[in-house]
Structure 1
Amino acid sequence: MRVTRRVQVVLAVALLAFGATASQETSQATDVRAAVSSTSAQRAYLVGQGSELKVLDLTSGRVLATVDTNAMTTGLAVSGDGRTAYVVNGWIGTITVVDTVAARVARRIKTNAQLDSAVVRPDGQRLYVTGTISGQGYVLSVDTHTNTLAAAVQVGASPTGLAISQDGSRLYVVNNQGASITVVDTRVATPLATIPVPDLPQQVALSPDGGTAYVTHAGGSPTGNGAVTVIDNARNRVLDDVAVGVGAFGIAVSADGRQVYVSNLQDGTVTVLDAVSRTVQDSVLLRARGIATAAGDRHVYLATGSSATVLDGDTGLVGGQLDLVGLAGRPFTASTIVLGGTG
């Protein structure tokens, strides 16, 4: 049964930025700190619709740093130890490498592609970035030791989101205009399979055991609403298409694999799916874009415009929220959130 629940924010934390390239912002509130006290992730990294990267300490509820990459961001990936962030400046074809400990730009990797999203292989040896070159979709493989291009794998049209298996051997790439998912064998940098899905696929997330992929679609259901396609990764075939909210975009799977969370951009809701029955379990009135979860953590972390929000995965209630301000008082609109280590 679908239940709509009005969200009441417990407390909003106002944070000020003073125009430094790396600012130390602090909070006196405890709502976020209390909400995430049991999480295995210690940091949250956010980029928005501007040029800034923000690093949040989840245990203290503080913004540790704000780094300006000087170009509009479209994607973000973070190394396993949290010491390096890779900010995708998609429109100019650049990946900005950020030292999160020193809170500074360490290097810029320039490409001839229009880039979108990124993910780091679990062993940290490779960064994978989706992009389009002369109308053709690719996944670019970057050697993270040398910060140079190692390979380019041709995929479908206009690749956007991507996800990688825990062993790093399989990459699942969303082809937005190709209405498909390309499965890439990262060991030999070769496509293994192309799986047709409904129109306008957006993002993809994997179950903790890697056996299932979940793909959002902005208008992929018969009713015209958004949908989530469920894929059996062992057989590379579609199991189901589940209707969700309007404009389905961001997606994440709970640490135990029992729930799937979907942000619906147009109707301002977060849909909670039961992964076993593949049915809608709940719908939370919360306007979000990016969604993230962490191993051993019941919470869901969301990029909610000018704030970062923590949702209790058990109750569906907001447990905390951080209001975010851009450098020199500029607006900050969070669109992507990634969880990581202590740096």
Structure 2
Amino acid sequence: MTDQLAVACQDASTITFFTTDTWEPTTVLDVVAQPHELLFDHDRRLLLCSHAYRSGFYGDFTERAHEISLIDPDTHQVVDVIDVPHAPHGLALKDNLLHVSVEASEHEEGGIVVVDLDKRKVVDRFDVHAGGPHWVTLNGDKAYTSNKEARFVTSVDLGTKATERIEVPGSEGIASDGRRYVYVSTPVLGAQGVDRGVRVIDTEVDRVVRILPTEEYPMPVHVTGDLVLVGENSLSGNGFLSVFRDFERVARIEVGRFPLTLESSPDGRVAYVSNLMSGTVSIVDLAGLAVVKELDLATPGTAGPHGLAYLS
């Protein structure tokens, strides 16, 4: 079966499926408002989607949402919806357990809820001692959350539930290389008087050991093979995709406005950048280090493409 790229569009409350051979859209699926992040569970052949708000965005929303949609990637149908608390955002998978970062409510701190995908219910929770954990990544037996305005990343031991605070000047996207390092975009978007860049956390000691500098505000970060990909947000124009290898930048490629999520093909040859405010997805050849195609999904200026998932 032909590989697909799934793209969640926030304001439209849709997920669009593209075939990767022709880049023709095959299905536009209506889902619960508003789809945020996507993750493909290859073992169960399920596309997972978090829904954070009914409308609006972080810091300016009408009502928090509380669902994870489970979607069949072959029939393009929603097969189940799992209820979770407090504005779910980031998604990370370990075996049959889905780890979801959730915002604080009036009664609980922000944290990570754990969903058993076989039982399709919430089975555990970890507090991260921050109000707005957004992205979550796993590295070995630990989870890490980026916490927006809070001046720390939270490290959580999945066995003991013990937490550590790793000092950063606010944070956005976060990703693990699955080995030694976790990469976190800092500071929070719009912060002044702080050096912009990706802090590199050594997971053996849970502290920042170096910074990958960026000109604009880094937001999404993604690791594929030996590359670290970083979406840079400008407050006044188009964004950029910075490509790092061995802690050195090898390319800076212009993409659309407000790059928000990054994905890559399984072979690491192609990157995908969702440009929220341009209404596009940029397809980037990581060998040639250039944009080779733009997918149009939404009217520029609206909250358009958000989460991405490569389906193989």
**TM-score normalised to the size of structure 1?**
0.75
Query: Could you report, residue by residue, the CA deviation over 1:180-200 in whole angstroms, capped at 9, with x for unpaired residues?
Result: 2222233x261353211122x
> Residue 264 of structure 1 is aligned with which of 233, 249, 256?
233
Matched, 1:283 2:252: yes
Question: Which residue is equivalent to 2:35?
Answer: 73
Q: Any unmatched runs of 5+ in structure 2?
A: 54-64
**Partner Cα distance (1:189, 1:59) in 2:** 46
SS at match of 1:202: coil
Give, in angstroms, the shift of residue 81 of structure 1.
4.4
**Partner Cα distance (1:236, 1:106) in 2:** 39
Question: Which residue is equivalent to 1:30?
Answer: none
Question: Which residue is equivalent to 2:25?
Answer: 63
**Partner Cα distance (2:98, 2:253) in 1:** 33
RMSD: 2.6
> Residue 200 of structure 2 is aligned with which of 215, 230, 243?
230
Matched, 1:177 2:149: yes
SS at match of 2:260: coil
CA 1:74–1:60 in 2, change beyond 3 Å: closer, same or farther?
A: same
CA 1:56–1:243 in 2, change beyond 3 Å: closer, same or farther?
A: same
Give, in angstroms, the shift of residue 265 of structure 1.
4.7
Counterpart mapping for 1:152-171 below 5 A:
152-157=125-130, 158-165=132-139, 169-171=141-143
Query: Could you report, residue by residue, the CA deviation over 1:99-119 in whole angstroms, capped at 9, with x for unpaired residues?
Result: 222222212222331222222
CA 1:222–1:319 in 2, change beyond 3 Å: closer, same or farther?
A: same
CA 1:137–1:323 in 2, change beyond 3 Å: closer, same or farther?
A: same
Q: Any unmatched runs of 5+ in structure 1?
A: 1-40
> Residue 47 of structure 2 is aligned with which of 67, 85, 100?
85
CA 1:232–1:98 in 2, change beyond 3 Å: closer, same or farther?
A: same
Give, in angstroms, the shift of residue 224 of structure 1.
4.3
CA 1:223–1:273 in 2, change beyond 3 Å: closer, same or farther?
A: farther
User: More strand by proportion, 1 or 2?
Assistant: 2
**Partner Cα distance (1:76, 1:274) in 2:** 24
**Partner Cα distance (2:241, 2:180) in 1:** 22
Give, in angstroms, the shift of residue 206 of structure 1.
1.6
Larger Rg, first or second structure (1 or 2) = 1
Give, in angstroms, the shift of residue 304 of structure 1.
2.6
Identity of aligned residues (%): 16
Query: Could you report, residue by residue, the CA deviation over 1:109-139 in whole angstroms, capped at 9, with x for unpaired residues?
Result: 2233122222222x3x011111123261110
CA 1:120–1:192 in 2, change beyond 3 Å: closer, same or farther?
A: same
**Partner Cα distance (1:156, 1:54) in 2:** 35
Question: Which residue is equivalent to 1:334?
Answer: 305
**Partner Cα distance (1:112, 1:259) in 2:** 32
Counterpart mapping for 1:1-343 below 5 A:
42-50=3-11, 51-81=13-43, 83-91=45-53, 92-121=65-94, 123=95, 125-131=96-102, 132-134=104-106, 136-157=109-130, 158-165=132-139, 169-186=141-158, 188=159, 190-199=161-170, 201-207=171-177, 209-217=178-186, 218=188, 224=194, 226-255=196-225, 257-266=226-235, 267-276=237-246, 278-287=247-256, 288-305=259-276, 306-324=279-297, 333-341=304-312
CA 1:193–1:49 in 2, change beyond 3 Å: closer, same or farther?
A: same
Length, aligned pairs only: 288
**Partner Cα distance (1:220, 1:307) in 2:** 22
